[in-house]
Amino acid sequence: MAPSMEEIKPKRVIWKQLDVEATNGVKIVRAQKELGAIIYSFIVPDCLSDEDGNWQAGAIATLIDSLGAGVNYLVTGILHTTVDLSISYLSTVRTQEEVEIEAKVLGPRGKLFLVMVEIRKKEDGKVVALANQWLDAVKASVTHLSKL
């Protein structure tokens, strides 16, 4: 049985708060619509750290999802929903470190769009995470929400 709106609403508020926290402070360095790319700058805030003082993997994933969808909107002018997100975490980032994020639309594949997102440490260029994100112009409704 599908959850009621009363059950969903508190969870949606929490998800929106997490999304806002994970992307708060992101700055656009350069946007190139003709190339389908945006480069962002971000200083990892303390509120996104794990117990060791590193940037949380979940916060990285949230940022990738949001910024990948943003560059796709820049290119297509249509809001899309992530249908698949694959992330490789290659190194850690401490809080208060600056990173550069490049999000690039690689193009349509049928009715899906593929976006690549790469996060690098600003200081030394070391790759932090690489992601492939598949998006589709699906209108989400209560009946389409995950039961997870």
What is the spatial order of strands in the sheet that 27-32 belongs to?
Answer: 27-32, 37-43, 98-109, 112-121, 127-136, 81-89
pLDDT in tens, the chain (148 residues): 444 444 434 444 444 455 566 778 899 999 888 888 999 999 999 989 899 999 999 999 999 999 999 899 888 888 888 999 999 999 999 999 999 999 999 988 888 999 999 999 999 999 999 999 999 986 545 455 555 5
**Does any domain span residue 147?**
no
Query: Residue 18 falls within a domain, yes or no?
Result: no
CATH number at residue 110: 3.10.129.10
- pLDDT of res. 79: 83
Q: Which domain holds residue 58?
A: 28-141
Does residue 40 form part of some domain? yes
Task: Let me know if residue 59 belongs to a domain.
Answer: yes
Q: What angle do CA 128, 133, 130 make, to 5 degrees?
A: 15
Instruction: Give one word for 110, left, alpha or beta, with left for phi > 0 and alpha for psi -120 to 50.
Output: left
What distance in Å separates the CA atoms of residue 13 and residue 7, rounded to the nearest whole number?
A: 11
Q: Is 62 within 8 Å of 109 (Cβ atoms)?
A: no
Cα gap 35→6, rounded to integer Å = 43
The pLDDT assigned to 18 comes to 57
In a domain, 15, yes or no: no
- Return the exposure string of 102-124: e unless at least 16 CB atoms fall within 10 Å of the residue's CB, then b: bbbbeeeeeeebbbbbbbbbeee
